[in-house]
Structure 1
Amino acid sequence: MSAWVAAAVFSVGANAQATPVIKERGGLYYLAPGYTAADVANFYWRSLNGWSEHPAEMAKYYQKDGVYALAYAPVDDFPNVGFKRANKGRQEMTDYFTNFSKQLGNLRYSDPKTWTLLQTTQKGTYVFEYSSDGVIRATNKPYQQRFIAILRMAKDGQIQSVREYWDPYVALRDFGLIKKTQ
């Protein structure tokens, strides 16, 4: 475990406010100064939740040159599926999630009040554990995934970067790209 991650784990909902301080400016979203870890969780959740129906909304929570990285994306073994390890900038994020919205539908993330936060000592850095449920459009079968994300907030109140970890086996299996052996 990195030196900047403390051993303490607690529920994000423990200090959750009823309404996080989210400001809209020029069609983009920002957290107002003085936000809490619960506010960051809610802000990140808002960026994720429903991207399968509205993929262009996600990037509005990120800095212009923000990064959304998928550390375990199986790009080497499945180059034609559309996986990317890093999406840099709002347009690249929008393009990526627009492409994947053709494959995933009704994607909903667990309530941020139920997320686990691993406390860090690095200012502006948050580590969340959460899950999602959705539907694979081609088969109408359910898709469920668990995540751990390392999120860095910028001083302006937008997301600077996210490095998300998920189980590629679940995605590859559920999308029919690999099959279990007997």
Structure 2
Amino acid sequence: MPTPTEVLQHGLDLLLAKDMPGFIALYADDAVMEFPFAPPGAPQRLEGRRKVHDYLIDYPSNIDIHEIIDVNLMTTTDPEVIVAEFTARGLMVAPGTPYQARYIAVLTIRDGRIQHYRDYWNPMLATGQITGWETA
């Protein structure tokens, strides 16, 4: 059974490869994905792999990630919970503008599958108010 750190690292590799079906397959059937800082109109909580699929499947059509850097994975006192901090760089596809975002995520990974993913990202990136390069 892969460790939570191995599952997350594999997930980042799949995101970089734009293999969204592979990335989505890492989620448990009853997985929950949360976005505590989601802007108005964007989902704050997705329940079940089907909802995660619908949310993520077209991700590369919107944001073309070229690199994932500054990855810092931290274990917790709960062996199923890890905290990930990383930067994704690439392009916002529609306007063709540079994209850079610092992500902090808290994940619960059970039996080799993502059970819970809480993503603390900057909602101003989604609204176009900033590109992420301003904070680099």
Percent identity (aligned): 27
Supply the distance in 1 between the matched residues of 2:122 and 2:93 (Cα, whole angstroms): 20
User: What 5-or-longer segments of structure 2 have no aligned partner?
Assistant: 132-136
CA 158–47 in structure 1, closer or farther in 2 if over 3 Å, else same: farther
Structure of greater Rg: 1
* Alignment-mate amino acid for residue 80 of structure 2: G
Shift of 1:174: 5.5
> Residue 66 of structure 1 corresponds to which residue in structure 2?
31
Q: CA RMSD in A?
A: 2.5
User: What 5-or-longer segments of structure 1 have no aligned partner?
Assistant: 1-31, 177-182
Structure 1 counterpart SS, 2:95: coil
Shift of 1:132: 0.6
Structure-2-length-normalised TM-score: 0.79
CA 71–47 in structure 1, closer or farther in 2 if over 3 Å, else same: farther
Structure 2 counterpart SS, 1:73: coil
Structure 2 counterpart SS, 1:41: helix
CA 84–65 in structure 1, closer or farther in 2 if over 3 Å, else same: same
Deviations 1:102-128 (A, max 9, x none): 422x224515xx411333111210001
1:103 aligns with 2:62: yes
> Residue 134 of structure 2 corresponds to which residue in structure 1?
none
CA contact (8 A) 2:4 2:112 kept: no
Deviations 1:30-83 (A, max 9, x none): xx25x373x2431331353344xx433321001111122222111x2xx2xxx2
> Which of 80, 86, 91 does residue 124 from structure 1 map onto?
80
Deviations 1:70-102 (A, max 9, x none): 22111x2xx2xxx21122222211111235444
Structure-1-length-normalised TM-score: 0.62
> Residue 49 of structure 2 corresponds to which residue in structure 1?
90
1:165 aligns with 2:112: no
